[in-house]
A = this chain, B = another copy of it.
Amino acid sequence: VSQTSIRDVAERAGVAVSSVSRVLSGHRDASPAMRRKVMAAVDELGYVPDILAQSMRLRSTKSIGFVVGDISNPLIAEITLGAETTLQHSHYSLLLTNSEDQPELDASHIRLLLQRRVDGLLLSLTSETHPSTLSVLGEVGVPVVLIDRELPGTVEVQASTVLVDHKSGMRDAVSHLLDLGHRRVGLILGSSLRFAREREAGLQSAYAARKLQNASMVLCGPLDRGFAETATAAMLDDADPATAIVCGANQLLPGTLSELRRRKMRVGRDISLVSCDEQPLTELFDPPISVIRKSNFEIGVRSADLLLRRLKEPERPPETVTVPVEFVPTESCAPPGPARNS
């Protein structure tokens, strides 16, 4: 497609390049006759404008840079779908970069994207505190949207933000467990990003709201299956074992399930279980697994919307929106059983 330039079209139509440009960009100063001539030449030659050259002139690439930690994480993939779909409708293209969960790559990807002259940035950062990321964010000249991240207050980065209300979801889940009679709730956390902090805070607030002494057990480690196994084992082997376990991230659930299976513990009888983030099959376990869920697609859409808004109105100040979260209880949560007395 397109090796023909606007000059070829002009020549073919017997008019000036500027006239071709005017017709194609829908400028009003173009007579019907001119329109016809130009469009005929365009059709005959199969001319398609070169976006690169347009970008160069207009100083706008109509492209957005998206930095993610790991696109193969289903949650991120859904966010990406929401964002790309939304941007597409506004004629923006998405440049995707994976940081492979390495904080150093966040900053270098941002720099690369700026070099590519993206009009805006959508960031699902791997780290909220890495100095080089914070430093480059201080001087990006384009609108930025942070996805579920909060940077340390000291740096004043001009960015819109889409926040997820993890705290409420966790509060609801833990409250439910407390109401069932659990007192020793275990929470497994990987990472120390905002979602982990909020989830821990949600758990605390559930205890606090019921004026119960906080007898929870929070274990934090790498965001992987191996750690989830270890943590689950630790929670069950504790002198005061947890009677309910909350998996603080989708990547952890397999580890917890496998440790429970190894011990032949039945979910919803010997142990109560809640998972953060719905996955395709959680609902099909027997019993179905309680989840704290959110719409990742919506997160992507809202992020893109926030960005588009600032692209249209550059003077507009950054905004923050919060996406709700929902706790879906199932029989995987039951009153603490006799196992506790063993």
Report A's interface with B, CB cutoff 8 A: 1-3, 48-53, 55-56, 61, 63, 70-74, 76-78, 80-81, 84-85, 88, 93-98, 100, 111-117, 136, 139-141, 250, 253-254, 257-258, 261, 279-286, 297
Contacts and interface: CB of A to CB of B under 8 A. Distances in A.
A23 to B, nearest CB: 18
Copy number in the complex reads: 2
Nearest to A260: B284
Contact of A2 (B97, B115, B283): B115
A104 to B, nearest CB: 13
B51 A2 contact: no
A96 B96 contact: yes
A72 B63 contact: no
Nearest to A3: B141
A258 B206 CA distance: 33
Given A1-B111, A80-B96, A283-B254, A117 B74 contact: no
Given A1-B140, A50-B115, A93-B97, A254 B81 contact: no
Contacts of A76: 77
A72 B77 contact: yes
A158 to B, nearest CB: 14
B284 A114 contact: no
Contact of A71 (B81, B115, B250): B81
Nearest to A115: B51
A261 B284 contact: yes
Contacts of A117: 50-52
A256 to B, nearest CB: 9
A284 B258 contact: yes
A88 B97 contact: yes
Contacts of A285: 281, 285
Contacts of A139: 1
A141 B94 contact: no
Contacts of A81: 70-72, 98
A80 B84 contact: no
Given A56-B56, A84-B71, A48 B96 contact: no
Nearest to A109: B88
B72 A80 contact: yes
A257 B284 contact: yes
30 contacts: A1-B111, A1-B140, A3-B141, A49-B115, A51-B117, A52-B61, A53-B56, A56-B56, A70-B81, A72-B74, A72-B77, A72-B78, A72-B80, A72-B297, A73-B77, A74-B74, A77-B77, A84-B98, A88-B98, A95-B96, A250-B280, A253-B281, A254-B280, A254-B283, A257-B281, A261-B286, A279-B280, A279-B281, A280-B281, A281-B282
A114 B84 contact: no
Nearest to A54: B115
B51 A116 contact: yes
Nearest to A266: B286
